[in-house]
Amino acid sequence: MPTQSQVLDVLKTVRFPNLSRDIVSFGLVKGIEIKDGLVQVTIKVASRDPSIPDAIKQSIHEALAQLDGVRDVQVDLHWSQPETPAIHGGASSHAQSAPADEALLPGVKSKIAVASGKGGVGKSTVAAGLAIGLQRMGLSVGLVDFDIYGPSLPIIMGVNDRPKVQDDKIIPLEHDGLKLMSMGFLVEADTPMIWRGPMVHQATEQFLKDVHWGDLDVLVVDLPPGTGDAQLTLSQKVNLSGVVIVSTPQDLALADVRKGVAMFQKLDVPILGIVENMSGFTCPHCGQTTHIFGHDGAALVAQKLRVPLLGRVPLVPALVEASDRGQLYTAIENDPQLSEVFRSIAQTVSKTVAASSC
């Protein structure tokens, strides 16, 4: 008769459909019972696609049937569709129904991820600009930096303090009322982060359950570039209201946008739209706009993928300098063009999230 350890090892070979990650590391396996050659596996799957749980169930049967001593396999499958919470104005309002991840993020009504297929496209600056735009709408907002290896939030926001711990919970730092959390607040600036995948997974979960965010209308999550463990963990653990994809107009960046959109669609995360960053540079002397990284690339990809183009953030030297100096708030407030584009993106995102929950 097989042992639980042997059964678990076999289950680690069962992949989530269309992804490279297995159902054990995804946290889908909730129980294993073995008696007289009968193996009973309890699985919990949240997916809007009914073919996903069926495919997982079949793969479990096929994998365990090959294990010596297994007479029969029974899969107890619990399938649910993820809820999409809305953004509600005012810190005192409450969602009509509690989302499934209430235990992880109590008091946080909506969770919006900001992602990119590759690095170097200004994703973190856009995430911070979105958070500032939402805050300017009168919402209570938090911003968390999920990039464990290269956290940039401390530099962008100009915050270098260490967060305090109270009642075994980390208290987020604040900048002009915006709550902030980043691995960069917890380690020395020059400390290299050489972590393996499971450690990143654990750190990601700790940012969800061990940080006291309090009551927030929206939490903006700045994801690391690519399609790795942090994206998969967040999508599985939290009912995301949606994801904003950031890209430059460059063909190389846009190729990775398609991969990112496909991944989130497979994970049943609503695509709120694409932001084209570094869209064009307008000469302050002659007023002529030069499209250094290409023109309308993100718009064409958005049209092809049938997702909204949320806005174009121009290539403004003042924005680059402000991000390096921790003066992003000031740069956005002092530049009418930047202020308007981030205001427009924030309004569109909030309306889309609210409409999708109706």
DSSP letter string, 227-259: SSHHHHHHHHHS--SEEEEEE-SSHHHHHHHHH
What is the CATH class of 4-80? alpha beta
E strands, 172-211, in order: 173-175, 178-182
DSSP assignment of 26-41 equals TT-EEEEEEETTEEEE
H or E, element range at 165: strand 165-166
Report residue 312: phi and psi, to 5°. Answer: -120, 120
Instruction: Give 12-18's long-range contacts (Cβ < 8 A, gap of 24+).
Output: 13/63, 14/56, 14/59, 14/60, 14/63, 15/59, 16/52, 16/56, 17/51, 17/52, 17/55, 17/56, 17/266, 18/266
Burial classification of residue 295, based on how many CB atoms lie within 10 Å of its CB (0-12 exposed, 13-18 middle, 19 or more buried): middle
Same fold, 4-80 and 108-356: no
> What does R_g of the chain's alpha carbons equal in angstroms?
22
Predicted local distance difference test score (pLDDT) of residue 173:
92
pLDDT in tens, 136-167: 999 999 999 887 666 788 888 888 888 888 88
Helices 51-65 & 4-11 angle (0-180, nearest 10) = 130
Domain coordinates in residue numbering, the chain:
4-80, 108-356
10 Å CB burial of residue 268 (0-12, 13-18, 19+) is middle
Q: Quote the CA–CA distance of 5 and 157 in Å, as a whole number.
A: 46
Which residue has tokens 């979105």? 130
Residue 227's pLDDT is what?
Answer: 61
Cβ partners under 8 Å of residue 335, min gap 6: 316, 318, 319
d(CA 250, CA 238): 31
Quote the pLDDT of residue 96: 33
Task: Say which CATH topology domain 108-356 has.
Answer: Rossmann fold (3.40.50)
Q: DSSP secondary-structure letter at 211?
A: B
The reported pLDDT for the residue numbered 100 is: 44
Q: Which two tokens stand for residue 109?
A: 């009504």
Residue 218 confidence (pLDDT): 94
Going from the C-alpha of 113 to that of each of 61, 199, 217, 242, 293, the distances in angstroms are 35, 21, 14, 6, 25
Residue type for 275, please? V
Collapse the DSSP code of 146 into the 3-class scheme (helix H, G, I; strand E, B; otherwise coil) and give the result: coil
Beta strand 38-46 with 72-80 is: parallel
10-residue block means of pLDDT along the chain (358 residues)? 89 80 80 91 80 89 92 89 50 35 75 85 91 94 83 84 86 92 72 50 72 92 76 76 88 74 83 88 76 76 88 84 80 86 93 74
